[in-house]
Amino acid sequence: MDELEGGIRRITLPLPTRPGHVHTYLLPGDDGWTLVDTGVGLPDAKETWAAALEEAGSRVATIFVTHFHPDHVGAAADLHELTGAPVYQGVLDYAQCELVWGNPAWSERLLDWFHLHGTPDDVTAELVGQSSVYRPFIRYQRDPILVEAGEHVDGWELVAAPGHADGQLCLLKDDVLVAADHLLGRITPTVGLWPASRADPLGDYLTALDRTIALAPRVALPGHGDVIDDPTARARQLQEHHRLRLEETVAALGPDGRTGYELSFDLFGSKLQPAGRRFAVAETLSHAERLVHEGAALRHEDGGTVTYTAA
Would you say 42 and 78 are in contact if contact means Cβ atoms under 8 Å apart? no
Q: Of 203, 307, 300, nearest to 261 (Cα)? A: 307
* 117 versus 182: smaller Cβ distance to Zn ion: 182
For residue 215, the minimal CB distance to Zn ion (Å) is 21
* 74 versus 203: smaller Cβ distance to Zn ion: 74
* 169 versus 252: smaller Cβ distance to Zn ion: 169
Helix intervals (H) in 41-159: 45-56, 70-73, 76-83, 91-101, 106-116, 121-131
For residue 224, the minimal CB distance to Zn ion (Å) is 6
The rounded distance, in Å, linking the Cα atoms of 157 and 172 is 5
For residue 73, the minimal CB distance to Zn ion (Å) is 10
For residue 74, the minimal CB distance to Zn ion (Å) is 10
* 162 versus 223: smaller Cβ distance to Zn ion: 223
* 111 versus 178: smaller Cβ distance to Zn ion: 178
For residue 36, the minimal CB distance to Zn ion (Å) is 12
Nearest-5° Cα angle at 146, 180 to 164: 30
Tally of CA atoms within 13 A in the half-sphere of 241 that contains its CB: 18
The rounded distance, in Å, linking the Cα atoms of 17 and 69 is 13
For residue 72, the minimal CB distance to Zn ion (Å) is 6
Residue 82 main-chain phi, psi, to 5 deg: -70, -40
* 41 versus 260: smaller Cβ distance to Zn ion: 41
Tally of CA atoms within 13 A in the half-sphere of 178 that contains its CB: 32
For residue 120, is the peptide bond before it cis, meaning its omega torsion is within 30 degrees of 0? no
28 burial (CB, 10 Å; 0-12 / 13-18 / 19+) is: middle
Name the residues that contact Zn ion, by CB under 5 A.
71, 181, 223
